[in-house]
Structure 1
Amino acid sequence: MQEFLIVDGYNIIGAWPKLSKLKDVNLEEARNSLIHMLAEYQSFSGMKTYLVFDAYLVPGIGKQYSQSRLSVLYTKEKETADELIERLVTDLIGRRKQVYVATSDMIEQHVIFGKGALRMSANELLVKVRNSRKEIQGKIANDLIPERNTFDKFMDPAMREKFERMRRGE
């Protein structure tokens, strides 16, 4: 089954403590940090991920680009993130497809649930992102521990026994 994750960007930034503090100082840095974390999570989880940012009051057409295979979408003028998320859910939902929407907006959760998608709260997503990061770091640490390449690994047991007796002086 193919899985998709649609993330309400500003909702998540406001809900995650570290990003919420960062947005008060530098919103662009908070966005970039979320993009980086979700790109890493997408690579680990295998879920195709769409990150949606609201540009409701910004004149112009919507914008979409890919960063590390993560699809980042900005709404067009007079379009809310919720509207774009609902449209994405409608486009993606189908047989052998599971769509998750990460938002803590209760109204949006009810709407997308009615369209057949599953909700994921901001806290649930944070836990999943943190767990994936720990797992990635664990795998990296294990890969860095060199495995001893000993000669006796390639020896048949009888030969190994002879060398062991020689080593002991028998």
Structure 2
Amino acid sequence: MRIVFVDGYNVLNSWPNLKENKISSFDGARNKLIDIMHNYGSYSDSKIILVFDGYKVNGNLENTENKNKNLSIVFTKGGETADSYIEREVHRFGRRCDICVVTSDWLEQQTIFQRGAVRMSSIEFYNEVSEIENSIRNKTEKNKNMLRNHLQDNVDFDVLKKLEEIRRSD
């Protein structure tokens, strides 16, 4: 399983669809990102670790919520940035796993790369997630069309023939 660390606030400030939501409701934008990451993790069979800074929140304790097998949400402890949390965890996993880190922070990308993880900018990740969302949407539409319940599929051929005769006789 691939592990993807996502710098939550970095993504919130980079993705166009989340920037708009952030203006009206910061919590709403964060919840939308959580929903998107849940879908992405399930579809791509990746473990998503979504990390939000607790850096400016004094006395904040590190908090991890495991939403399901594909998504964990981490709020770092006070004084710790998402970057430092991600660096520590990538170092802990070492090169034993396929790890990707999503951030547009250039220094963070260089540090992560040196520790053996793949790096991806927030915009590159946005494009990947958008492609997956479109793929899901297309599959859903295709399945919906295939599962339509047509009268002709459920009526005996003789009854269908008589109905057609009645329709044509008008």
Which TM-score bucket, shorter chain as reference?
A: 0.7 to 0.9
**Structure 1 Cα separation of the partners of residues 15 and 145 of structure 2:** 34
Q: Compute the TM-score of the two structures, normalised by the length of structure 2.
A: 0.81
1:33-62 superposed Cα distances (whole Å, 9 cap, x missing partner): 100001100011111110000011212211
Structure 2 gap segments, 5+ residues each: 154-170
**Structure 1 Cα separation of the partners of residues 113 and 106 of structure 2:** 10
1:98-139 superposed Cα distances (whole Å, 9 cap, x missing partner): 100000000100011111111011111101111111111111
Aligned to 1:114: 114
Is residue 93–residue 116 contact of structure 1 (8 Å, CA) maintained in 2? yes
What residue identity is the alignment partner of 1:54?
D
1:17-39 superposed Cα distances (whole Å, 9 cap, x missing partner): 12122222211111101000011
What residue identity is the alignment partner of 1:89?
V
State the percentage of identical aligned residues.
Answer: 36
Aligned residues: 149
Q: Residue 13 of structure 2 aligns to a residue in which SS? A: helix
Are positions 1:76 and 2:77 aligned together? Answer: yes
CA-based RMSD of the aligned residues comes to 1.8
**Structure 1 Cα separation of the partners of residues 43 and 146 of structure 2:** 23
Structure 1 gap segments, 5+ residues each: 151-170
What residue identity is the alignment partner of 2:36?
M
Q: Post-superposition shift, 1:87?
A: 1.1
Q: Residue 79 of structure 2 aligns to a residue in which SS? A: coil
**Structure 2 Cα separation of the partners of residues 130 and 93 of structure 1:** 29
Q: Compute the TM-score of the two structures, normalised by the length of structure 1.
A: 0.81
Is residue 7–residue 50 contact of structure 1 (8 Å, CA) maintained in 2? yes
Which residues in structure 2 correspond to 1:1-170 (within 5 Å)?
2-58=1-57, 59-68=59-68, 69-95=70-96, 97-146=97-146
Is residue 95–residue 117 contact of structure 2 (8 Å, CA) maintained in 1? no
Is residue 93–residue 99 contact of structure 1 (8 Å, CA) maintained in 2? no
